Structure 1
């Protein structure tokens, strides 16, 4: 049985939580917003790719979201 699929919204929320944690900022200052948002996008994309490519007991996982 495959684990429950993560939605795009869940992946994005997890990426945001990760970037907040490692940056130490809950919300970036205006001059850091672009780089903060790019980091969230990059983490979300990497997570979606990971979930899409994972195999569970030899069965390819279904695509996220």
Structure 2
């Protein structure tokens, strides 16, 4: 879907920072919405979506069990 989103789970990325998760969330929301930078009247919804995706991504990464680790 979005080729610039990196795989964040180990072993592809041993340490994931909040900035990495936010960058992936931002890329996802940009792709889905079709906006690189939304207009002022869409900014609140755009930012809320980025935050929601970042939280979901963080929860997913915390819950994953990677075999062989």
Unaligned runs of 5+ in 1: 60-65
Is 1:38 the equivalent of 2:26?
Answer: no
Separation of aligned partners in 2, 1:8 and 1:29: 25
Give the alignment's TM-score, normalised by structure 1.
0.83
Q: Point out which structure has higher relative CO (alpha carbons under 8 A, 6+ apart).
A: 1
Corresponding residue of 2:63? 53
Which is strand-richer, 1 or 2? Answer: 1
Corresponding residue of 1:6? 16
* Superimposed CA distance per residue, residues 1-55 of structure 1 (whole angstroms, 9 cap, x where no aligned partner): x521211000000000000001000001000000000000000000000000100
Structure exhibiting the larger radius of gyration computed from Cα positions: 1
Aligned length: 58
Give the alignment's TM-score, normalised by structure 2.
0.78
Q: After TM superposition, which residue ranges in structure 1, 4 or more long, deviate above 4 angstroms?
A: none
Separation of aligned partners in 2, 1:48 and 1:58: 21
